[in-house]
Structure 1
Amino acid sequence: MMAAAAAAAGGFRTVEPLEYYRRFLQENCRPDGRDLGEFRTTTVNTGSITTADGSALVKLGNTTVICGIKAEFASPPVDSSNKGYIVPNVDLPPLCSSRFRPGPPGEDAQAASQFLADMIENSQVLLKEDLCIVDGKIVWVLYCDIICLDYDGNLLDACICAFLAALKNVKLPAVTVNEETGLAEVNLKEKIPLTIRKQPVATSFVLFDKLVIVDPTAEEEDLATGTLTIVTDEEGNLCSVYKPGGSALTGAKFQDCINRARARHKEVEKLMDKVVKSVKET
């Protein structure tokens, strides 16, 4: 009997996924057992890519992303002699989900990369001036590659978490310029961490009718009538708000989302501090 009921429920979910989902929402819960305001388990590990200057692996439920940061020398921009570069890139290979195809980056990957670039600029997580080695001559360029290994929704939250954790893991060699030769000399024995100015954390929501739900799975994103991502820093300031169309939000509900994002920031900040502390102790 139980097997038959489970089969019937599975069939209903396949034929009428939205109605199936709404029946859970009426009970203020979701098919995976979470409350509407409950996040999936989040784990962070740093230093997982030994060939990178900094790296981090983040799991948000089943969604898994890895960020590797590689630093290289470059000439500064013509119009900013004392600024380095930060180049983010998000890759969504077919390996992580059947919804993504081989070939050039699709719309989702391009949108995620642009969102990350805008967030870096708006949040001032890292000042480009801090990447200057010698004014007008040599700067650091940080290539920040994020690869999704398993996609199950809420990509942006996972990407920003992995990016921030990887930044905290970066240690660059001390560099001086020989006055006689004009060449850069690298001291690999002396490693210097980056100066993290702000700690941005993303919190994503989906809209179902009049309900707002946090940390959506891929299925929830597909069924929802709209999505919203809010990025806050440790002082509660808004760094970025991303809402690509869909249902409108009332002012009261938007403010509620901001409050939830600030509360989520405190949770992620505690997790980050714990990870950084454990790395230092080892």
Structure 2
Amino acid sequence: MAVATKKMVAMARSPSLCRWRRKLSTRCTLRVLVPRREALTGLTEKAGCAEFISQRIELLLCLSAQMGEQWFKSCLPDEYYEKFIAEGIYPDGRSISAFRPLFFKLGAWGGVGSALVKLGGASVSCTVEASLALIHDGPFVFCEIDACASVTQAQVNDVADLLNKVFTNESLSFRSALLVKGIDKEVVMTWELTLRVQILNSDGSILDAVFCAVSAALFDVRLPSVTLKHAKDDESPLRQEEISIHEETTSLALESFPIAFTFHVFKSNNKDY
């Protein structure tokens, strides 16, 4: 924690900061009163110098590291992040070229495949369930998303829309990968996958965490082998009792897996990061 200098103490006693603070009669603790953004902007223009903000920021951080930093981040986000990025780091101490720490566990949530992923402060689980169907022209992968209260419905819709776009992309070759192997070619069957995604914690990049969980769960998928007892010349509809599902399983042979990359261009008065 920073140590207040005589200059900072003198600044704390300046008239311009008197209305920002007060003494609590019970504990005699100095508390900084947070001004509105509009008020701060007006004071800045009136002062006519860039040192106004930097001096107050320095003072706030010295008076209370936790409260001052949160005020700085909420009211002056551009200045807050620029102080770190200019030094080549993020507020959590990572280098600007480093990724958030990633942890995952496979096969922990049932289904034919599942994964639990923690990316920074975001936690997401994905369970894959499979069902058999005759070949058709519709989609083969369906997504269901459930989220904690801190995630808005708009965020959920954005994630669902992007997942649907990815899984309808022919470059992932899902149609060929989901065809049931080892049965008569006259009766073409396919697997349909339902991805049940749960956003457990949203303190981080939700989209990146969701795609990591989905990719890990697909990598964990094991589909059982299937045999049919349906005659080639039998034109009657296929019945459930004619389908046998065995314990032997095979992995999902995908040529590629979806991966998310998030980029942000930070503009400052000096340069773009």
TM-score by length of structure 2 reads: 0.64
Identity %: 29
Map of 2:81 onto structure 1: 21
* Deviation per residue, 1:25-53 (Å, 9 max, x gap): 22222211112221111112100112x11
Superposed counterparts of 1:190-209, under 5 Å: 190-209=248-267
Alpha-carbon distance in structure 2 between the residues aligned to 1:72 and 1:190: 16
Distance 1:32 1:58 in 2: 20
- 1:161 alignment counterpart: 212
Match in the other structure for 1:71: 130
Contact 1:71-1:143 at 8 Å conserved across structures:
yes
Cα distance between partner residues in 2 of 1:38 and 1:135: 52
2:103 matched to which residue of 1? 43
Q: Among residues 131, 137, 142, which one is paired with 1:87 in the alignment?
A: 142
Change (3 A) 1:31 1:187: same
Specify whether residues 5 and 130 from structure 1 end up closer, same or farther in structure 2 by C-alpha distance, changes over 3 A only: closer
Compute the displacement of 1:84 (Å).
Answer: 6.7
Asked if 1:146 corresponds to 2:225, the answer is no
8 A contact 1:76–1:137 mirrored in 2: yes
1:174-211 residue CA offsets vs partner (Å, 9 max, x unmatched): 11221258434233321122112113322111121154
Q: 2:162 aligns with which of 101, 110, 115?
A: 115
Detail structure 1 runs of 4+ shifted over 4 Å in the superposition: 134-137
1:173–1:9 CA distance, 2 compared to 1 (3 A): closer
TM-score relative to the length of structure 1: 0.62
Pairs within 5 Å for 1:221-232: none
Deviation (angstroms), 1:112: 1.1
- Could you list the per-position Cα deviations for residues 215-259 of structure 1 after superposition, in whole angstroms to 9, with x for gaps in the alignment? xxxxxxxxxxxxxxxxxxxxxxxxxxxxxxxxxxxxxxxxxxxxx
Q: Count residues in correspondence.
A: 199
Query: Which of residues 119, 124, 130 in structure 2 aligns to 1:60?
Result: 119
Which protein shows a greater Rg? Answer: 2
Q: What value does the CA root-mean-square deviation take over the aligned residues?
A: 2.5
Deviation of 1:75 after TM superposition, in Å, equals: 3.4
